[in-house]
Structure 1
Amino acid sequence: MMKELVLFDSNPIYFFILSLGFLFILIQLNWQKHQSDTVFLSTLILILTVLRLPFILYNQQINIDESSVITQAMTLWDRPIFWQSVDGTTSGPLNSYVLFLGKLLTGTFDYTSCRMVCLLLIIGTLIALYKALQSFFDTQSARLSLTLTLLFYAYNQTHDFIHYSSEILSIFLFSISLYTLASIQKTPQSSGFILGFVLALVPWAKIQSLPIALVFSGYGLYLCFQIRAYQGIISLVLGAISVTVLFFGFLLYYQVLGDFYLYYIEGNLVYGQEVSLYRRFHHLVAMLVKVFPFRDFLLISILLFLFAFRWFWKLEKSLLVFLASWFLITAYTIVKPGMFFHHYLLYFIPFLTFVNTFSLRSITRHFSYRTVQFNYTVALIVVGSSVWWTSLIRNTSYTNAEESKDLASNRVITTIHQYAGPGESLAIWGWWTEGYVMAQMPQAVAENHSVRCTTESPLMVDYQQRYLHNLKTNTPAVFVDAVGSTHNFPFVHTSAIHESIPAIRRYIQRHYQFLSRVEGVRIFIRKDRLAAVQKGIRYL
């Protein structure tokens, strides 16, 4: 039974019962007003960790973004210059570098180590949010609100919300910033510097979230100005400048400033321009209404807000302006790329947690505390149970960790390993980033998929030229074209084979020999490597 419990195997009902037991413990801690923060947070971390175990142990791809960032981190471990060896497209360098922690903890880059880092970042987010909400409001309201947020993170089994997405690190940074905002008027100099420093890190994690960082910065500057703490303003600016100077010094020293501007700034500006603003917000509303279980989290938040609506106007006007700006700019941040990935909705979590805390504080002040807590407890149990069980029914493919341990158990990977080994670079045309992780081979090209080489855009030719340059520079022993196979992400059209780019087709024909088609994947071997292997010469 214990094995099934940990591996979440054929009897998930045990896990369900265990999760309910943990939830009851956490609720009991909410009833005890004088319980220490250490006990509350330790219980919260325990619940989150245990309920995340199935996905940590499931050492297979849940979302394609995970494979991309793991491959980038694996590549940067050997060739650590971002925008030279790796281009994260919409994702910044920090999202990849932070996975080094997973490598240090487990000794490898795989899905388990990646999700361990994800878990640590979520734990950090919850702790920072708790401390921030305590400072802005009070302990009891913060605990009640955070319990709801915990349900979303711990009981959720929807692949878009449980994988290591590029939003996770940004949300962690925003949570730290919120905590710093809560104390900036008490210690303007130190808090101001920390706030500026942390917010300046945000675009290097995810440039999409920069507008939210600007709103936080503006509110921090206002709070300092409000009490005439001009040293706090200077410290905030210095904190932001220090990070900016550090990163731009890095770009200049390694001569990748041009690549940074072209592929990170221009590349993201042109991303999704073909989608109208009306259509973007239309899709956002559709996601808010339909996407499970975020929809349920949002519904409870709206109900709490409606109960407490009359008291919101008693908030300080500057805080109301900050909240309104935070909400609107978060909505804009989600729709800006013109792509409607459900995990973008994670940006709303800190905002909703903040608003929920105020709602709960207002309700508990104006109604019987025990009545409110009893009704809220019942609601949490019902919602938590339904979300957990419904998620289980919808996502049964993540339940068997025992069969998911061997990443290399794939005919394509076995064939690749006959001609190249782990540590050598690999080039995969198409969108099969999982192949890099399974082979444990770093990417030979800056982008680990070829979508932008075949998608019409002002930068398409630049992407093609860079891809060819990377092939010539890194000369991978194996070149794989996954387009048209079941391994390839369906987003890539079957006509987008490497032969559709004349320069790349000529280079592959000149330097590589077609070996075979395995599971629909075409495998090409560099001619000198093929000759060496045929002669029995070891390549490692």
Structure 2
Amino acid sequence: MLSFDDFPVVYFALGYLLAAAVALLVYGNKIRIQELLFLVASGTLVILMRLPIVIFNQEINPDESQMIAHALTLQQYPIYWQSVDGTTIGPLDNYVLLLPSFFGIAINYTSAKLVGLLCVLGSLWFFYKSVKNFFNGSVARLALLPPLFLVTFTQDADFVHYSSEQLPVFLLNWGLWLLSNLIPSPSARAAPSIWRREQASLRPDYKSRRALALSGLFWLGFVLGMSPFAKIQVVPQAAVIGLFSLVFTFQPKNFFRNAGALIAGGITFPLLIIGWAAAYGVLDDFWDFYVLGNLIYAGGSSVLDSILRIPSFFAKSPDFIVFLISIGLSSLLAFFVPKKLLDNQSKTPLTIIFFACFWLVASLYAATKSGNDFVHYLNLCIYPFGLIGAFFINKNFKNQQFSSLTALLILLPFTSVFGYKILKHQPLITYMSTADHRVPVSNVSKLILQHATSKDRLVVWGWMCRYHIETQMPQGTAENHSERCIYPHPMREKYYQRYLSDLEQNRPKVFVDAIPNSLWLNDRATQAHEAFPKLNEFITKNYHLVGEVERTRVYVRNAEQ
């Protein structure tokens, strides 16, 4: 039986010892395979410390249940925007959850967290390779530590559940790596840029290298073009990466060719999606419920309001504050070490500094623009802050002592939290393992399963998507929560009419009214299905009540229907 609950202090102490070993591997290349050892140890550390969360086969955040329910539905009814609408969540976030099922793994919270862990590992890998291209290997190893330790040791629900930010953050870091491949190596940057371009044009391999650059721009555009279909919220960050790819490769005579390659890559995936949506008759749904729906959602606050809210937003996550402190300590050290001990040859080009700053601003804008201070939006800011930290770390130290000191300073805030929790007798593991690691089934779901099977459709009025995971039943309406049919907004009538149309067309076996036992929707008098005449008429005519459990009413379709 896999469990981490018996000796959590020993378990975390071993994790911090491994983290210290990772920190000591950051400097130099005295061991031939030092980089490989560093990367293997880093990956092992993340996997080891995230295992208790992966095997915690329960809902950590309601968004998890929403996306897993979408995946369960897509497994039987694979057309997005026809059988499934993730509202602000893009189709890629949901389709990727089907991957474990190809290996015989059930679609549940554990499989979703496993997919999320792979996205986290991929983000760390591409971030490391990007910083190595921007600077060098030693800087990349040091710069990787703050995000590495954050995703390793955090128990914050908003960083460990399968969130809609994990896949788009992976795509952004993939794009960051493709961008970093377009710039000269650190040693080549010492030469004046005009001289480099003139010499490059005289070399016999110039045409082949230009073709490679165009290919790189195309695939960068392709990856960036995918990102809005994971989460449209990341468009500002993707735009900054795309813009600076043209800055990094700027040559007057090749500018339009380069821009053409980037734009061609950028529109390829969206055009494929549009063509696919048109072929399956869901183009209008794509436009109405994904594009327009997201634009309404994004109008939550002004830029000024977003800026003013940032400090309180950060304060909602102590773990994110610890992450920022670790970057701050490593950055401040560069200002206090005597100049004679600094490597003055490691100056960061202005274009990289500007890019890092713009990327950070774009991430903050994306995280705050909706006006909803959901902490999981801070996932969008982890690597932009990490890249800013890399800029300060690039003031390289001439000897191992100061680089090792930097690494240990990065680790210090995280170990301090560990020590504080022990002294205050606070729990180290938030998510205690269940006896058999199966999804717990609520009394509501037990009642549902008395009248239906996993092949039947289920509709939940309210916001309790976990009933789909507990019963393994697909959705009977495109949305698996009815918040947008209930709360006032410009498109409420459109959502409500689609909901009614889906009920009429799909004739789900079970209808559940989860109000007031529901996220955000708790007033039975004004929000239950009886408060909506057309919906009430449909349910009254076609369904009968079989029971009420946990303030939740379960209706089953009449036998003759």
Segment drifting more, 163-172 vs 104-113? 104-113
In the TM superposition, what whole-angstrom CA distance separates every residue of 1:459-502 from its partner, at most 9, and x where no partner exists?
A: 001111111111111111110011112xx214554431111211
State how far apart, in whole Å, the 2-side matches of 1:459 and 1:395 are.
44
State how far apart, in whole Å, the 1-side matches of 2:346 and 2:497 are.
56
Paired residue for 2:497?
465
* Counterpart secondary structure, 1:115: helix
Q: 2:148 aligns with which of 133, 147, 150?
A: 150
Paired residue for 1:383?
413
1:459–1:389 distance in 2 versus 1, CA, 3 Å: farther
Q: 1:497 aligns with which of 511, 528, 548?
A: 528
Q: 1:250 aligns with which of 269, 276, 291?
A: 276
Paired residue for 1:292?
318
> Which aligned pairs between 1:317-356 and structure 2 lie closer than 5 A?
317-356=350-389
- 1:407 Cα shift? 2.1
In the TM superposition, what whole-angstrom CA distance separates every residue of 1:474-531 from its partner, at most 9, and x where no partner exists?
A: 111110011112xx214554431111211111100000001111111111111117x9
In the TM superposition, what whole-angstrom CA distance separates every residue of 1:123-159 from its partner, at most 9, and x where no partner exists?
A: 1111111111111001011111112211000101110
**Code of the aligned partner of 2:383:** P
Paired residue for 1:536?
none
- 1:408 Cα shift? 4.9
Question: Scaled by the length of structure 1, what TM-score is found?
Answer: 0.91
Percentage identity across aligned positions?
32
Paired residue for 2:246?
221
> Which aligned pairs between 1:44-59 and structure 2 lie closer than 5 A?
44-59=42-57
Does residue 479 in structure 1 map to residue 511 in structure 2? yes
In the TM superposition, what whole-angstrom CA distance separates every residue of 1:299-341 from its partner, at most 9, and x where no partner exists?
A: 2323444455799995433333322221222111111111110
**Code of the aligned partner of 1:502:** P
**Code of the aligned partner of 2:19:** L
- 1:85 Cα shift? 0.7
1:389–1:76 distance in 2 versus 1, CA, 3 Å: farther
Q: Is the 1:74–1:442 Cα contact (8 Å) retained in structure 2?
A: yes
Q: 1:110 aligns with which of 104, 108, 111?
A: 108
1:20–1:302 distance in 2 versus 1, CA, 3 Å: closer
Which segments of 5 or more consecutive residues in structure 1 lack a partner in the other structure? 532-540
- 1:106 Cα shift? 4.6
* Counterpart secondary structure, 2:281: coil
Segment drifting more, 263-272 vs 440-449? 263-272
State how far apart, in whole Å, the 1-side matches of 2:10 and 2:449 are.
40
Q: Is the 1:191–1:232 Cα contact (8 Å) retained in structure 2?
A: no
Paired residue for 1:535?
none
> Which aligned pairs between 1:28-67 and structure 2 lie closer than 5 A?
28-31=24-27, 33-35=29-31, 36=33, 37-67=35-65
Paired residue for 2:402?
372
Paired residue for 1:23?
19
State how far apart, in whole Å, the 2-side matches of 1:301 and 1:161 are.
18
- 1:56 Cα shift? 0.4
* Counterpart secondary structure, 2:25: helix
- 1:405 Cα shift? 2.4
Q: Is the 1:58–1:398 Cα contact (8 Å) retained in structure 2?
A: no
State how far apart, in whole Å, the 2-side matches of 1:202 and 1:394 are.
39
* Counterpart secondary structure, 2:83: coil
Paired residue for 2:543?
512
State how far apart, in whole Å, the 2-side matches of 1:394 and 1:199 are.
42
1:397–1:456 distance in 2 versus 1, CA, 3 Å: farther
Which segments of 5 or more consecutive residues in structure 2 lack a partner in the other structure? 185-211
Paired residue for 1:528?
559
Segment drifting more, 387-396 vs 323-332? 387-396
State how far apart, in whole Å, the 2-side matches of 1:86 and 1:318 are.
42
**Code of the aligned partner of 1:468:** L
State how far apart, in whole Å, the 2-side matches of 1:223 and 1:104 are.
40
**Code of the aligned partner of 1:11:** F
State how far apart, in whole Å, the 1-side matches of 2:334 and 2:81 are.
48
State how far apart, in whole Å, the 2-side matches of 1:505 and 1:391 are.
51
- 1:442 Cα shift? 1.0
1:228–1:85 distance in 2 versus 1, CA, 3 Å: same
Q: 1:238 aligns with which of 242, 258, 264?
A: 264
Q: Is the 1:280–1:338 Cα contact (8 Å) retained in structure 2?
A: yes
State how far apart, in whole Å, the 1-side matches of 2:66 and 2:150 are.
25
How large is the Cα RMSD of the aligned pairs? 2.4
Q: Is the 2:156–2:317 Cα contact (8 Å) retained in structure 1?
A: no
Q: Is the 2:88–2:290 Cα contact (8 Å) retained in structure 1?
A: yes
State how far apart, in whole Å, the 2-side matches of 1:291 and 1:432 are.
25
In the TM superposition, what whole-angstrom CA distance separates every residue of 1:139-197 from its partner, at most 9, and x where no partner exists?
A: 01111111221100010111011111111111111111111111124641221111011
* Counterpart secondary structure, 1:427: strand
* Counterpart secondary structure, 1:375: helix
Question: Scaled by the length of structure 2, what TM-score is found?
Answer: 0.87
- 1:80 Cα shift? 1.0
State how far apart, in whole Å, the 2-side matches of 1:273 and 1:312 are.
46
Q: Tell me the matched-pair count.
A: 521
In the TM superposition, what whole-angstrom CA distance separates every residue of 1:261-285 from its partner, at most 9, and x where no partner exists?
A: 1111111111164545444333322
State how far apart, in whole Å, the 2-side matches of 1:523 and 1:169 are.
35
Q: Is the 2:325–2:413 Cα contact (8 Å) retained in structure 1?
A: no
Q: Is the 1:185–1:227 Cα contact (8 Å) retained in structure 2?
A: no
- 1:350 Cα shift? 1.4
State how far apart, in whole Å, the 1-side matches of 2:379 and 2:72 are.
26
- 1:233 Cα shift? 3.1
**Code of the aligned partner of 2:286:** F
Segment drifting more, 223-232 vs 41-50? 223-232
Q: Is the 2:28–2:138 Cα contact (8 Å) retained in structure 1?
A: no
* Counterpart secondary structure, 1:107: coil
* Counterpart secondary structure, 1:218: helix
1:450–1:132 distance in 2 versus 1, CA, 3 Å: same
- 1:404 Cα shift? 6.4
* Counterpart secondary structure, 2:297: coil
Paired residue for 1:83?
81
